[in-house]
Chains A and B, each alone.
Chain A
Amino acid sequence: MSEFKKFDQKSWVKTNLNYRKDSGSWAWILHRITGIALIGYLFMHIYSLSPLSQGREAFNEFMSHYTTPFFMAMEWFLFAFVLFHSLNGIRIVLVDWADGARYHKSLYRYSIVIGVVMFFAMGYVMFSHEIHNLLK
């Protein structure tokens, strides 16, 4: 008689993955993932800056590991996480406080565009010295 499928607790992961997702669902998922990554990074950041207390040599020695091209690229990709969480955070605030539920989908599209632009702008800031050295 019942046309509703009984909720199967064992396959809830599969159910959630198969659920049709619009921009709002992706925003929610990515906001969590980027948020968890950023708080994890904050703990690492506090740990990795603690050699500041040991003076100049210790700190510069420690930091030399983080100025390699690999870590610089990782720092750039981290900015993508920062940007998504920031711009989607603004979107959340607008939805909550500025009637954004009416325009949250276009907000999502705008924040992706703004985010991509800001990502490459930050790439230029971070790598401008390398770029200038290459062009010299």
Chain B
Amino acid sequence: MIRATVSEAMGWCIFDANDDGAAQLYSAFDMSKLDPIEQRYNLSVIDDWRILEVKDAESALLETKRLANTDRAISLLRLCLILKNRNELDWLYREVEELIVSCAPSEELIREMLVAPFADVEQLRDSAAHALSRGYNVVGNVFNELHGYQPHIKRLSNAWLRLPISIFLSLGASKETLWSEFVKNGLIVKLLNATDNHGVKRLFGAMAFEKTSPQERVGVTALGAAICTELFGNGDSKSVLAAEIFNDDSPSEEDSSDRIQVDSQAEFQRALLEIEGIKNALLRGDDFHANKYLAELAERQIKYGSEFAQKSLCNIAKKCSEMYRLDFELVCLEKSYLIDKNDPWTLLQFADYYKRTRLYNEAEDMAKEALGTPHDLVARCLIADIYSKKGNCAKAIQEYKTIPGWEEIVIVRTAIADNLRWLGRYDEALQEYDLIDHQGFGSYRVQAGRAEIARRQGELQNSLELYKDIIGFNNIDEHSLLVYKTAYASILKQVGEYQDALIMAEDVIEQSPFMIGTRVLRSSLLGLLDEGVIGLELLPGNPENLGNSTYDSWLRDYTRGVLLLKTNKYAEAKESLLRNLSASSINTEEKEILRLASAVSCLMPDIDKPIEAKDLLSQITGPCDAYITYLKLVLDYHVSVIEKDKLESARLLSELNMRRADNLVFLWEAVEALSDNRISEALDIEVESLLRWGAIAA
């Protein structure tokens, strides 16, 4: 490796002094050697120089050339904005486009140009329009993107400027230096794309994870938290702030007479674009504009008939659910419901929303209103699924079987098989999956059912193999793929492959930052990797836009409780776990997992309430997976050891020994520790086993 000092602005590269004491100065553009004395007349941009460590001189020169071309492209783009006479800019656009296509990717240019808000935002829009009108789409799009980012960079930079200096002390860099560093490494763009405070915290959390010293980690985490507070405040301040930012940035209204003349096909196309626009605004965290566009779209479409507007609203609601933006989904559904309370699609989507937020009674009522409509089949399936979610799988199967011709409907049969699985009737479920397969209707869903049965039966390697197959399926949709990747990572965790699991989880989060389950999984993995504090930091909060009873929120609370145990905050952990036990929205199995964790919290040194633990454990009666069943036995044994109940201890030890399996070696170590009266060591293993539990099931 060699070291070279390079200037982006000049395209110069200096190699360290050679034997005769002379530094070697080269121009990367033509690879020519320059005379340092003659070049003393030349200017250099302050702070422009950086050190490169590359394998040889040629690589250094090539990299310098690339950097210099990027720098030049940025200068040329800025020149486009400065020049008032735009009539003769074709040569300039051409020059920039050539640079972008050949060596300066537009993402890099945008990243570098987002160093601060532009003073004249309108100029960006005008320049974009001009470049596009001249046929220079690449340049036009760069300006368009920059224009789109302006309100956000303005908001972010203002927030940054408001941060107290004290936050930067532990980071050893000034506000300005750190900002420049974040521009260069692309963090600013990522922050601008972060959709909510969790997105921002996740970015800083990931950065903290890369830091080696605890001080820096704490500093980075604190910086992330401070930025979140500045950006999002608490709840309502977000929209107030957004309104402040955007009040001078409203898109022009079209003349209403024009709208009426648009034919329905054009309107349909336009609506699709607008729906995409609303989705993108939400992805950017730009709720203000998303709301505005939504209102405009609904208002305009009403003129073509309510069904148009409702379809669009349901369409947007669906996209919101995919993005886990439940708050905005509710806004869309309420709007649609107000337009027509009998629209079956609205009813079904609303019911589905209630189901996902665990408001099962409301979901059932809403779904039942759609019975007898042309969407009766969907309504029945939904009602059955609601029964499943309520934990009443037998009733769900019954409901499915009321569907006329259910034996011929693969999706219904698969759902029945899934319910058999949830009931613990694994053989029947597997038979049904096999039958579906043999009849040629097999899908990745069937395979996932088998993988889950394997997991619950403790055949973790088999389960991993099955999930691996699913991930390799060609026809799997994007969302399902992410769900199965998460399930795969969850089992990797259970078998102790924490690092691989973390990589997989990060990959999923990167693609879908709103997947709470995956983020919870990541936190538990961090806990297992002895990064419990960071795990807690990165744990999704309970913001207003997620409600308090989504699918995975109990899991988040469970993981939080166990991470608190891991970080020795026993009282807080116990309180958190027990509080969730009383929640009505969680089903029996989930309650039993929480009881296990709560029992462990009762056994902790500062709490020391084995009787409470015993009581909690005695309430666990339902069918659980092999891992949880064994863990319960370990905890029963733990209590008997503390209570010095030798008879019970002997009985449990015998049962534990009998049920020992290869994948439960980890838990057996706790048993051995308890037998030797190494209680503290056993507790550590028990807490770790709670974190290891592969809770994310497909």
Genuine A/B complex: no
